[in-house]
Chain A
Amino acid sequence: MRTRALLVAAATALASCGASAPHSTGVYLLVDTSGSYNRQLNKAEQIVLYALSRLQPLDSIAVARIDAGSFSEKNIIAKASFDDRPSSTNRQKRAFASRVESFVGESRPAAFTDITGGLLQAIEFLNEKHTGRKEILIFSDMKEDLAKGYVRNIPMDLHGFEVVALNVTKLHSDNFDPREYLSRLDDWRARVEKGGGRWRVINDLDHLDGLL
């Protein structure tokens, strides 16, 4: 009986080793490159660097652009799952920052804005990573503009996800009627919360302390 208890205790201790996945964080940053918003990419780079500084070994991060058809792996600019060793993680972070920097320098404005497709891609990516905490950051004005033929009226399963809209700028038309801006945000909130996710908006990029 005593031997059995010892074996059970040892098995429990061994099982607890390496069970690190639930502690990890997954971050998926969607960067809007449509129209005039493409000029805001330097701010997006700052957010990426901030996110990199907050992430730990075994965390995952991906940066993808939002363009006409965002539900595609091709839209992913850079992705990384950090190593268990801190030194390797640091090397990966530096390489990641370098890739994002080169993207910011070379990015061209897109004709359409497929935010929903990007969200679906983010959900798929983070679910595959099995991270304990799942964060989708959307760097966009949240004005969706789909090309003809794209079906995006799809329910999303966002249970366990936190969706943060960053730097949601006011459009020219919002200035005429602010209700458009507010209703746009409300619509997105409703969609996210309907999918089981949590919704936040951060417009002051100088105070990202609450993020991650």
Chain B
Amino acid sequence: MAEHESHKLMSITTLLAFTPWPAVSASILFILLVTALYLARGTAHQAISATANALSKGLRLASHSVAHAEQRLAARNRDVLLAAGREAKERIVEREFTRVGDTVRKDLAGYPELHRRLSEAIIRMEEQQAKAVEVPPEVPGWAQAVKVVANIDARNAGADILSDIHKSMVKSHSEAMGAYRKSSGERHSLLRRMMPDWRLVTETLGHVAKSVESVIARALTIDRHMEEYEAIVRGEDRAVSVLSSSSIVYFFVSLLVLAVATAGAAVNFTLIARPMAEMVGGTSFIGVLRTADIAALVIIMVEISMGLFLMESLRITRLFPVIGALSDKMRVRMIMVTFTILLLMASVEAGLAYMRELLLKDELATSALLRGDATDTMLSGHMWITTAAQMGMGFVLPFALVFVAIPLETFVHSLRTVVGLIAIGILRALALLLRVLGNGFRHVGGLAQRLYDLPLFVPLWIEMRMAASEPAAGPQGSRGPSGEGRSLRGARP
């Protein structure tokens, strides 16, 4: 390094030695350099300008290209989002229609019976009502009284007549009251017998009202979903915005649930990895991983796969269209097969968990023996609880992992949108950066020209003075002070 420095110093000394005075040599060299730079000024400015413009235009072109790619990606994302939203809405509407169909089918299936019961009840009520019509009691005895009055003797017969009338009146009254009471009792009895029919009619109509209300509520829900569906089909911005935000929410929620499921799988792995060493050996490796660990992982992965197939067969998830498109008979078979495999693997896991406990005890006993500590081999009578808990976990966890399929489907679907949004953000930032760089290079070109002119201020000043002292004749001179101003601006950096 020091050698290099001394060599450089020697070169400078040699360069300044062409006159006896280094200062004079330096001045001459400076003047020559300034002269050369001044003569090459136009070409240098053109070169700087061309370079800066080329870089600026190239970067701006790249920025436009990236922006265009971002727009295309955004459009593609929008299409995908709308398609996913449309499909989801179709599924929801389809499910609502199925529910409405079930409700209507159930009610319509009972409608003839309902109609018959209502008709019978109404007929019975009409009959009983007809029977219960109040008939005014016939007043007997008036004919006899009229007859007696008609046969009145002109002589003193008033007392007998009135007595007969009174008797007749009392008798007829008591008879009429008896008949009235009897008929009233019969009518009340008929009306009492109508009560169950009324209740039946009320209950039946209440049931019908409930069904109708349910259908109306479902219809309102369908209307709402249909409005949203139409908005999606029309590709409204609001629908896209709602779908996009929903996708992000679904993404994070499903990510959280998947993290929980991963923790569950890790617990499951811990339960079976140790006993797997008894089956496949504890020291063989595939790459950097123990074969026993890989075997345990494979078992867990197979369980998760079976869970996925089970969920697909049940049509709860729709990750594999092939399974969803199978006939119902085939799907039922697939459900049986996957469930049986899951059951077997859960049983195997429970056995392995039990084996793990035995191995653990064996290892503890051996370690205690090797440490010469016999007290550690003492085992509590309640250890069966941990054994049972491990076995239970080994059996339950495979079934719990089945439900991973649901958040996994949501994750996969929302991942497309989230990745698209991130890519759009990156492209947008890149386009902005390229644009800023393009503009920056353009200004850097101008700055480089000014910096080039900085050591040439003396010749430029002389040029400016000469230009100013020239007569105002000729095409240049006609510009006057404004042309000088431009020259000044050009001369001074």
Q: Can you name the residue of chain B whose Cβ is closest to the Cβ of A46?
A: B372
Which residues in window 1-54 of A have CB below 8 A to B? 13, 16-20, 23-24, 46, 49-50, 52-53
Contact mask B249-277 → A, CB, 8 Å, 1/0? Answer: 00000000000000000000000001001
Q: Can you name the residue of chain A whose Cβ is closest to the Cβ of B366?
A: A90
Say whether B170 faces chain A, with CB atoms less than 8 Å apart.
Answer: no
Q: Can you name the residue of chain A whose Cβ is closest to the Cβ of B288?
A: A16
Which residues in window 138-188 of B have CB below 8 A to A? none
Say whether A97 faces chain B, with CB atoms less than 8 Å apart.
Answer: yes
Say whether B18 faces chain A, with CB atoms less than 8 Å apart.
Answer: no
Provide the main secondary structure of the chain A interface. helix
Say whether A85 faces chain B, with CB atoms less than 8 Å apart.
Answer: yes
How many chain B residues touch A (CB < 8 A): the figure is 21
Find out whether the CB atom of A18 lies under 8 angstroms from the CB atom of B284.
yes
Find out whether the CB atom of B363 lies under 8 angstroms from the CB atom of A17.
no
Find out whether the CB atom of A90 lies under 8 angstroms from the CB atom of B372.
no
Find out whether the CB atom of B283 lies under 8 angstroms from the CB atom of A16.
no
Given A16-B286, A90-B362, is A84 in contact with B281 using a C-beta cutoff of 8 Å?
Answer: yes
Say whether B109 faces chain A, with CB atoms less than 8 Å apart.
Answer: no
Contact mask B357-378 → A, CB, 8 Å, 1/0? Answer: 0010011011101111000000
Say whether A102 faces chain B, with CB atoms less than 8 Å apart.
Answer: no
Find out whether the CB atom of A58 lies under 8 angstroms from the CB atom of B283.
yes
Find out whether the CB atom of A24 lies under 8 angstroms from the CB atom of B370.
no
Find out whether the CB atom of B277 lies under 8 angstroms from the CB atom of A86.
yes
Say whether B351 faces chain A, with CB atoms less than 8 Å apart.
Answer: no
Which residues of the partner chain A approach B277 to less than 8 Å between Cβ atoms?
Answer: 57, 85-86
Chain A interface bracket (under 10, 10 to 19, 20 to 34, 35 or more): 20 to 34
Given A17-B291, A49-B372, is A57 in contact with B283 using a C-beta cutoff of 8 Å?
Answer: yes
Taking a contact as CB atoms closer than 8 A, the residue among A17, A49, A58 that contacts B286 in the complex is: A17
Find out whether the CB atom of B370 lies under 8 angstroms from the CB atom of A16.
no
A residues adjacent to B (C-beta < 8 A):
13, 16-20, 23-24, 46, 49-50, 52-53, 56-58, 84-87, 89-90, 93-94, 97
Query: What would 24 A/B residue contacts be, using CB atoms closer than 8 Å?
Result: A13-B286, A18-B284, A19-B285, A20-B283, A20-B284, A23-B283, A23-B285, A53-B367, A53-B371, A57-B277, A58-B283, A84-B281, A84-B283, A85-B281, A85-B282, A86-B274, A86-B282, A86-B359, A87-B359, A90-B362, A90-B365, A94-B366, A97-B369, A97-B370
Q: A20-B285, A46-B372, A52-B370 are in contact. List 13 more A-B contacts (CB 8 A).
A: A13-B287, A16-B286, A17-B285, A19-B285, A20-B284, A49-B371, A53-B370, A85-B277, A85-B278, A86-B274, A90-B363, A94-B366, A94-B369
